[in-house]
Structure 1
Amino acid sequence: MKRITTGYQGLDEILDGLRIGDNVVWKVDSIDDYRSFVTPFAEQSLRDGRRIVYLRFGSHRPLLEPSPQLEIIELDPRLGFESFTTRIHAIITEHGPQTFYVFDCLSELLSAWATDLMIGNFFRVTCPYLFELDTVAYFALIRQRHSLRTIARIRETTQILLDLYNFEGDLYVHPLKVWQRRSPTMFLPHRKEGERFLPLVDSYAATRLFSTLADPGTDSAHRQLDHWHHLFLQAREVAEAPDEEAAQTMVNHLCRHLIGREERMLTLARRHFSLQDLLEIKARMIGTGFIGGKTVGMLLARQILHGDRRHPWRENLESHDSFFVGSNLYYTYLVHNGLWPLFMKQKTSEGYFVAAAELHSRMLEGTFPEKTREEFQKMLEYYGQYPVIVRSSSLLEDGFGNAFAGKYDSFFLANQGTPEDRAAAFEEAVRKIFASAMSEDALTYRLQRGLDQKDEQMALLVQRVSGSYRGRYYFPELAGVGVSHNTFVWDREMDPQAGMLRLVFGLGTRAVDRTHDDYPRIIALDAPQKRPHSGMEDTRRFSQRDVDLINVESNALETVSLSSLVAEGIEFPLDLYTVLDHETMRHIKDRGRKETEVRLLTFDRFLADPAFTSLMQRLLKTLEAAYAYPVDVEFTVNFTPDRTPKINVVQCRPLQTKGAVQRVEIPENIEGQRILFDCRGNFMGGPLSQAIRRLIWVDAEEYSRLNLSDKYEVARLIGRLNKRIGERREIPTLLFCPGRLGTTTPALGVPVTFSEISNITALAEVAFVSGQLMPELSYGSHFFQDLVEADIFYLALFPDSRECLFNRPLLDSLPNSLEAMMPASSAFKKVVKVCNIPGEGLQLMADVVSQRVVCFEG
């Protein structure tokens, strides 16, 4: 093997030559000084027949000129740490062992990433991989641009670290680290004289050099600071000066490093955040990087409302004291726990799901850097023993077109016990949220929306739980979801522009998730007292029975029945939110049981006063006007002693909709035998005119007879059928399932995940009253968001209703192809029927104006 040289014989003698695997880092005063050592190294390596790759990403003049033997690859670090690092990993993999590399100056990355931390992370994951592939690579750092901590991390990782000084026209090379080599004068400074490098062997020359080079204006405290903190110190100086133009320029600059990359959200941020607002955000940050979509949405909503002069929102808004964990901590966590190589495998097509499963498991076992743990502890000391919620706030979350609703985890923490116990619970929640970025549902969602190769950093939003102590419990009085545009109205007289609420008593979890045998109150804001059902029997069935809350005695999130809260004497405005269920009370009495009050959470008296619904409609429309787009918010409501509502907008994002309502003309006089079903109302996703080529039917009676494990297997079978669909435009599929899809309780429906129905064109939840399998119109829930974003039409079928015609004989006449398609699942052929529709197939049509949906043979 040929000798590896720096291009200077004298430098080779000092370093005992270069070795395969060496990463060579130069600390320099200028790019030109670095160039004077890069050029001879590259030229000699090319003469020696080495393969040289120049990675070009800096704004400085190129280090090497193009030549036929030199490969130059241009990269854009502004696309983000993950994209940049992943691309370089792929380049190194593609070029294989014993390739030599020249990198532009790493200090250039500061303008793209704004933080030394990520440069240190980049080096820690790239350098070992280069070493593993027997390469030699040159890097440079501009002196005094980086914190001592970053330099220390690089020194720990690299094989060779050299100081290069330019003093009085002479160049001096001072080796700081030379791995596995040493000589009596190796670590002395050497003056370059032509090809020779002469050591400064006397103390006089060394003292003169270093005392002159020392910068008296740079103290040790200054050098400890990351570039990120220097940036915000500069921003504070700008904020204190009366220069509006400079302040706005700084706002634009900070937004690029703090808010995100999506241009529509950046435009909103620049318009509504002042420089002082951004400095206040920074003051409540742990770590560096983006604050993430969920945090941006929450903060933007507050700024928009506070800026609305038509209403005194400060009287009705609860203030927040949130903390924000910067997105760079997510990558630091991966690097700190040695998970980056596995993360790189996950970025490949073959490892996208397979490596993710292992990564998910290992992320749950990681540790945090000690400095990060200290910052977590300080934050928890601030909150004391008030309950907190730790929420995902990823870079792509809650943006225009990508809500990621329910894809990532969030956790309520009762936050009781010793400081050590509270810190341990918090760290465990962070691990789980980080790991949820590798969940199958989240990865499927990203893959479907073309986001699988985009940076998806996970920031965190930590909030004091909105609410108050009531005995041993802690919870807000009301919570829910609001949308400013109600595309899925259930009455033809309703105005979609009026908006809608999904309201619950207690924590808002029951408003955003499909819950066990429980329903929120659905409120059309132009008809707040009108329910999507009628009659006392339906009111009893479709009301909230249980309350989610935090039990500070058991230190846990709990679900407690409304009747238990009433029996315990927990104070809340009972008569305002509930009505007595006289019929049930009479049945109890007739059976000789002890008389007891039975109440239903209907909110009827509360909604009879339009003050609250008018206020919520004003809030939603104010945000919609600022976004120039319909919005979706999550909120809590508490009340002052004089019953003034205090609203806490905990989340705000662009609402995923299917656009303006249009008319679909359903043919009249369709022959009865050609109709599969014909219903009024109870659908979401219209207007629609869609050909259907395949039906999947889960029979309610057969499903109800299955044991628990087989019910779960039916869900997995649907998932396998979903994968067989592939591209939905090729095989548009209508799925019928009994009860609630996606439930966590198989007795109430089929427990599929979103990834198991992601290729379905339309789905119908079918009521099966005797088996307690009832659909739920999930306006505003995470399930609702999944359907809208995936462009899946939803229908609730009530075959026994007078307003629903269902032609079961037509369905029974279609042959079942399950056994032929999936022989291994033939045991379920009585439960699951797969029908490939011949000829012109079926036509599914829905008209939101007439509120009619029909499926018939073409």
Structure 2
Amino acid sequence: MDCMTKASTGMKSLDQVVDYLRLGDNVVWQVDAIDDYKYFVNLFVENALISNRRVVYMRFAQHPPLIEGIEDITVCALNACGGFESFSTQVYDIISREGKEVYYVFDCLSDLLTAWANDLMIGNFFMITCPYLFELDTIAYFTILRNKHSFQTVARIRETTQLLIDLYNCEDCYYIHPLKVWDRYSPTMFLPHALDRENLTPITNSVDAARLFTIMPTIGIENERRHLDYWDKMFLNAVALYKEVLEGKETAAMEQKKVIEQLCKLVIGRDHRILSLAKKYLSLKDLLDIKSRLIGSGYIGGKAVGMLMARSILLKDKDFEWRRYLEPHDSYYIGSDVFYSYIVQNGWWKLRMKQRSNEGYFQVASELREKMLKGSFPAAVKEQFQQMLEYFGQSPIIVRSSSLLEDAFGNAFAGKYESVFCVNQGSPAERYKQFEDAIRVVYASAMNEDALAYRLQRGLDKRDEQMAILVQRVSGAHHGQYFFPDLAGVGVSYNTYVWKEGLNPDAGMLRLVHGLGTRAVDRVEGDYPRIVALDKPLLRPHAGVDDSRKYSQREVDVLNTVSNKLEVVSLNNMDYEGREGLMNLIGVKDYEANRRMKELGMKGPDIWTLTFDHLMTATSFPQIMGKMLKTIKSAYQYPVDIEFTINFSRDLHPHINLLQCRPLQTKGLKSKVHIPSNIREEKVLFKSKGHFMGGNISQSLKRIIYIDPKNYSKLALSQKYEVARTVGKLNKQIQNRENLSVMLAGPGRWGTSNPSLGVPVAFSEINHVTVMIEIAFSSAGLIPELSFGTHFFQDLVETDIFYVALFPEKNNVFFNHLLMNDHPNIFNQLCPDKLQFEEIIKVYDFTNKDLVIMSDILSQNVVCFLEEK
């Protein structure tokens, strides 16, 4: 190699030992004290400045600065406490900005344990940073403290770096022992060298070598414990403390509070409100139980934390015997660090950094998502996956996203990430493959466009969003080839969608289904879960016997253990022989339909209509669920949203499995709105009684995007999808909702997956509008579904989109769509490439008009009208 490509360490004798440094070298010093490293750092920096090299100092540790009093260097102050990704991104951006042939000095990497408590992530950081520095022909100095890291972490650093040097300070003498010097060799290079003033002398004599290693700090100290990660050591200490607590040692009881706080910061998260709850309601035993069921390391994520917190709140409630009702859980957790390790070890980190940029945020995400569906896992993680699956046997399980930001205060991420059912049938190899594929699907969902848009809109796009995973045993029982729970649902402690005057929002609301809870959290096509206002559980949004039948659940989501898939089965095709006690509790026989079947000579099981009325009147179920919501809400000091299942024993005693709990963002009464009583009818666009959500508002509107129901219903399927994409294009043109308030109005259900029931937009295609209207167009079967409690409606609440369902055929509803025709239609100007839809999509401009929408939640009145000047 040409000498021009060589660089100096600042010490001639060390240059001779390692045959100089080369551009691209990463040099890792393993030391006992930071001051020892500091001496060699300053030699390196002073020589670099003499050679007119740019020097950048990466400053992030708690120890004193390595470089002081030297001008002409760039000091970059970094914050490691923000987490692995934000820290690594800061470093990556600095390296990218500084460019080629820069010299770097990093603070001690061991100090990152204070922020991350994890050797694994330090190894990951080095594995992504070192190759990037090498690529840009830099020279970088790093250090780690001896005996502070696991053998595995040191091995990963050794494998990645170009130079690894042991530095000892014994009896006031420095000894340097190169352990790795990439791409060069000499007969004495890898021997220990004693430093005498400026000269390094190799120790070649066996007597001197043996004597040296006897006086050096013992490298064999805690060898067994050094097989462990720093993370594992902390939990081992916690286990020892817990044993002392059980033995009644007073000092251990005093220490317990401090350790609980420390462990919460390791596995629960960084949010101070969640941490405050965790420290209050999670015991040391609870935290050790989490560790015993944790695969990998890191946080367990918002969904897992919410579930554990809610259960613990209830079990600590002395006013009610919750143990009689709560079904035990035996969930597993895949730590958030496994997610980053998956990206790093599959070689995708550079792509991840491109995706973090403004230009690549959406564009690169699709490429990364595809790669994440095909990656491989480390052998140690695969072994833990296998052991977990052996524990569950062939019981169905569900693999659920549990990201760091998910289910937090103000950011629910409802439905943004994937959850995957594993029916878990077949050979061990088949079941393992199904599970691993499910993990990949959940990981890849971090790059879903809806999730990215959600993060961007809330200013979370630069925050760490590691994907932890919650693995739960599916609650339910086998019924022939099907597996499902008796009931499942969603509960909210504050009912912002009160549909009738006199309902108490603070009583809460349930959205209840028979079978798997997928029908409760999603907007279900052509089916209607039971909506329960807990203060008046028999009151329905629709009235009358015919309405009860029409707006009821007709299909059941189940796991088919024969086909090994999630399936939808007609309620009337289910065999309920021997389960009439349950059916009488949740439904009524449809005597008219059963009579017609007999008259036609048709045989089969009885036809049922699910009303859930007997459950509401003959049991204490509504009171129990109301108390559950109030108890958790009181602990959170914030409205909450829960997901649950119910399984009944033979005596019809309910066993509740609390699957999820999160803070619920709500829009309350706000200030009183006085709706004018003398609005002339020709000035009214629409008015309605009830069926709106968003509290009291008085909002001016500048634009209406209107999908003509009649013309839309005539479109071919492919054209309906294209209409949805065009709506998304119009949505993106809304740069600022305060300056351009838009009302979106269309037939049936927005966000449906079935275009025959509405407009199949993704939420990211309507997230900038201010008001959303769903209009019933009965002749084409386009009917709004009053689906408060679903992920879709949670998005509306969080995004502060006011919602109205209009039923023009009802007596108390008025809709004058012709009023819009008197105002400019600017669709062709906004979408000149979509002129084929000019009779379908209308965009009415009200910029110079006084169009306003007003609502009053107490009287349940909502009206949209032109104010008279």
TM-score range, shorter chain: over 0.9
Q: Secondary structure at the match of 2:488?
A: strand
Unaligned runs of 5+ in 1: none
| Structure 1 equivalent of residue 702 of structure 2 | 693
Which of 677, 680, 692 aligns to 2:689? It is: 680
One-letter code aligned to 2:315: H
Distance 2:724 2:649 in 1: 47
1:841 shift after superposition: 3.3
1:74 shift after superposition: 1.2
Which of 124, 136, 144 aligns to 1:133? It is: 136
Are 2:163 and 1:160 aligned?
Answer: yes
Which of 59, 68, 71 aligns to 2:62? It is: 59
Are 2:461 and 1:452 aligned?
Answer: yes
One-letter code aligned to 1:162: I
Structural RMSD (CA): 1.5
Residues 467, 136 of structure 1: alpha-carbon distance in 2 compared, 3 angstrom cutoff? same
Q: Secondary structure at the match of 1:101?
A: strand
1:566 shift after superposition: 3.6
Which of 265, 268, 272 aligns to 1:263? It is: 272
Contact kept? 1:232, 1:279, Cα under 8 Å: yes
Are 2:82 and 1:79 aligned?
Answer: yes
One-letter code aligned to 1:147: S
Contact kept? 1:191, 1:198, Cα under 8 Å: yes
Number of aligned residues: 858
Q: Secondary structure at the match of 2:7?
A: coil
Contact kept? 1:23, 1:158, Cα under 8 Å: yes
Are 2:173 and 1:170 aligned?
Answer: yes
Distance 2:630 2:574 in 1: 35
Residues 119, 572 of structure 1: alpha-carbon distance in 2 compared, 3 angstrom cutoff? farther
Distance 1:83 1:74 in 2: 13
Paired residues for 1:550-589 under 5 Å: 550-566=559-575, 573-585=582-594
Which of 605, 614, 638 aligns to 2:623? It is: 614
Contact kept? 1:284, 1:324, Cα under 8 Å: yes
TM-score, normalising length from structure 1? 0.98
One-letter code aligned to 2:104: Y
Worse-matched range after superposition: 278-287 or 803-812? 803-812
One-letter code aligned to 1:649: L
Q: Describe the superposition over 1:796-855 as per-residue Cα deviations: whole angstroms up to 9, x where unpaired.
A: 111111110011221233332111211101101111111111423310011101101100
1:123 shift after superposition: 0.1
Distance 1:298 1:122 in 2: 31
Q: Describe the superposition over 1:586-628 as per-residue Cα deviations: whole angstroms up to 9, x where unpaired.
A: 6667878679743211111111125000000010000011001
Distance 1:572 1:342 in 2: 57
Q: Describe the superposition over 1:762-802 as per-residue Cα deviations: whole angstroms up to 9, x where unpaired.
A: 11111011111110111111011000000001111111111
Distance 1:619 1:59 in 2: 45
Q: Describe the superposition over 1:375-425 as per-residue Cα deviations: whole angstroms up to 9, x where unpaired.
A: 000000000000001100000000110000000000111001111111111
| Structure 2 equivalent of residue 605 of structure 1 | 614
Unaligned runs of 5+ in 2: none
Contact kept? 2:703, 2:847, Cα under 8 Å: no
1:240 shift after superposition: 2.4
| Structure 2 equivalent of residue 151 of structure 1 | 154
Which of 637, 651, 664 aligns to 1:642? It is: 651
Contact kept? 1:2, 1:48, Cα under 8 Å: no
Q: Secondary structure at the match of 1:620?
A: helix
Worse-matched range after superposition: 601-610 or 680-689? 601-610
Paired residues for 1:761-780 under 5 Å: 761-780=770-789
| Structure 2 equivalent of residue 369 of structure 1 | 378
One-letter code aligned to 1:132: E
TM-score, normalising length from structure 2? 0.97
Which of 181, 188, 205 aligns to 2:184? It is: 181
Distance 2:654 2:603 in 1: 38
| Structure 2 equivalent of residue 88 of structure 1 | 91
Q: Secondary structure at the match of 2:642?
A: strand
| Structure 1 equivalent of residue 12 of structure 2 | 9
Contact kept? 2:422, 2:435, Cα under 8 Å: yes
One-letter code aligned to 2:827: L
Contact kept? 1:844, 1:853, Cα under 8 Å: yes
Distance 2:70 2:807 in 1: 73
Which of 26, 41, 52 aligns to 1:23? It is: 26
Worse-matched range after superposition: 117-126 or 363-372? 363-372
Distance 2:223 2:34 in 1: 24
Are 2:793 and 1:784 aligned?
Answer: yes
Residues 92, 838 of structure 1: alpha-carbon distance in 2 compared, 3 angstrom cutoff? closer
Worse-matched range after superposition: 740-749 or 805-814? 805-814
One-letter code aligned to 1:476: P
Q: Secondary structure at the match of 2:750?
A: coil
Contact kept? 2:669, 2:857, Cα under 8 Å: no
Worse-matched range after superposition: 261-270 or 592-601? 592-601
Paired residues for 1:229-268 under 5 Å: 229-241=232-244, 242=249, 243-268=252-277
Are 2:228 and 1:225 aligned?
Answer: yes
1:501 shift after superposition: 0.4
One-letter code aligned to 1:557: L
Q: Secondary structure at the match of 1:487?
A: coil
Contact kept? 1:576, 1:604, Cα under 8 Å: yes
| Structure 1 equivalent of residue 285 of structure 2 | 276
Q: Describe the superposition over 1:486-514 as per-residue Cα deviations: whole angstroms up to 9, x where unpaired.
A: 12211111111111100000111100001
Contact kept? 1:408, 1:437, Cα under 8 Å: yes
1:574 shift after superposition: 1.7
Worse-matched range after superposition: 185-194 or 216-225? 216-225
Q: Describe the superposition over 1:138-193 as per-residue Cα deviations: whole angstroms up to 9, x where unpaired.
A: 00010000011101101111011111111222111111111111111111111111
Are 2:449 and 1:440 aligned?
Answer: yes
One-letter code aligned to 2:305: V
1:569 shift after superposition: 7.3
Identical columns (%): 53
Paired residues for 1:224-623 under 5 Å: 224-241=227-244, 242=249, 243-566=252-575, 573-585=582-594, 597-623=606-632
Contact kept? 1:78, 1:113, Cα under 8 Å: yes
Distance 1:820 1:313 in 2: 61
One-letter code aligned to 1:646: H
Q: Secondary structure at the match of 1:208?
A: helix
Q: Describe the superposition over 1:56-98 as per-residue Cα deviations: whole angstroms up to 9, x where unpaired.
A: 1111111100433011111111110011000000000111111
| Structure 2 equivalent of residue 797 of structure 1 | 806
| Structure 1 equivalent of residue 739 of structure 2 | 730
Residues 581, 66 of structure 1: alpha-carbon distance in 2 compared, 3 angstrom cutoff? farther
Contact kept? 1:661, 1:848, Cα under 8 Å: no
Contact kept? 2:6, 2:23, Cα under 8 Å: no
One-letter code aligned to 1:815: P
| Structure 1 equivalent of residue 634 of structure 2 | 625
| Structure 1 equivalent of residue 842 of structure 2 | 833
Residues 41, 599 of structure 1: alpha-carbon distance in 2 compared, 3 angstrom cutoff? same
Worse-matched range after superposition: 490-499 or 242-251? 242-251
Contact kept? 1:479, 1:508, Cα under 8 Å: yes
Distance 2:648 2:594 in 1: 31
Residues 592, 554 of structure 1: alpha-carbon distance in 2 compared, 3 angstrom cutoff? closer
One-letter code aligned to 2:216: L
Residues 131, 596 of structure 1: alpha-carbon distance in 2 compared, 3 angstrom cutoff? closer
One-letter code aligned to 1:707: A
Contact kept? 1:585, 1:595, Cα under 8 Å: no
Q: Secondary structure at the match of 1:276?
A: helix
One-letter code aligned to 1:824: D
Residues 146, 674 of structure 1: alpha-carbon distance in 2 compared, 3 angstrom cutoff? same
| Structure 2 equivalent of residue 749 of structure 1 | 758
| Structure 2 equivalent of residue 40 of structure 1 | 43
Distance 1:746 1:768 in 2: 14
